[in-house]
Amino acid sequence: MADKEFTYSDVSEHNTKKDLYIVVHDKVYNASSFVDEHPGGEEVLLDVGGQDSTEAFEDVGHSDEAREILEGLLVGNLKRSEGDPKPKSYAQANASVANADGASAGIGLYAIVLVGAALAFGAYKYLQTQQGEQ
């Protein structure tokens, strides 16, 4: 049963409380039986029903216990086809965000140091000419 393959549109049909599939890391889970028990509330689960909720699930930092429950709800694998929303791999998404941030902060810092140095040099030169004129 857990070897079943679902397309994205198969999954998107299961988006009601009584029939709720969610995708986490390209695996398809039937969360219907767990909606009422979810410590984070039913609303968040219904929000991601029929969709890829990898990011939402990982953002919360769910415990190992939560992951075990999730495995128990497994019904199959997601078969992606062209035109589907891009896979949301949390680790990859986060790494690229961190890199982009790091790079832009680095460049910004260089720019500030360079502009600061140029200003200091200009002021120094200006003061020198002023002193020369006296």
Select the residue interacting with ligand HEM from 8, 57, 78, 88 (CB under 6 A). Answer: 57
Asked if 60 touches ligand HEM (CB under 6 A), the answer is: yes
CB of 4 to ligand HEM, least distance (A): 17
- Closest to ligand HEM by CB, 11 or 22: 22
Cβ–Cβ < 8 Å for 34, 73: yes
Rg of the Cα atoms in the chain: 26
Burial of residue 82 (number of CB atoms within 10 Å: 0-12, 13-18, 19+): exposed
The rounded distance, in Å, linking the Cα atoms of 19 and 32 is: 5
Tell me the CA end-to-end span of the chain in Å, nearest whole number.
Answer: 92
Asked if 3 touches ligand HEM (CB under 6 A), the answer is: no
Asked if 46 touches ligand HEM (CB under 6 A), the answer is: no
Select the residue interacting with ligand HEM from 1, 3, 18, 39 (CB under 6 A). Answer: 39
Which neighbouring-strand residues pair with 30?
A: 21
Binding site residues, ligand HEM, CB under 6 A: 22, 29, 31, 34, 38-40, 44-45, 48, 53, 56-57, 60, 62-63, 65-66, 69-70, 73
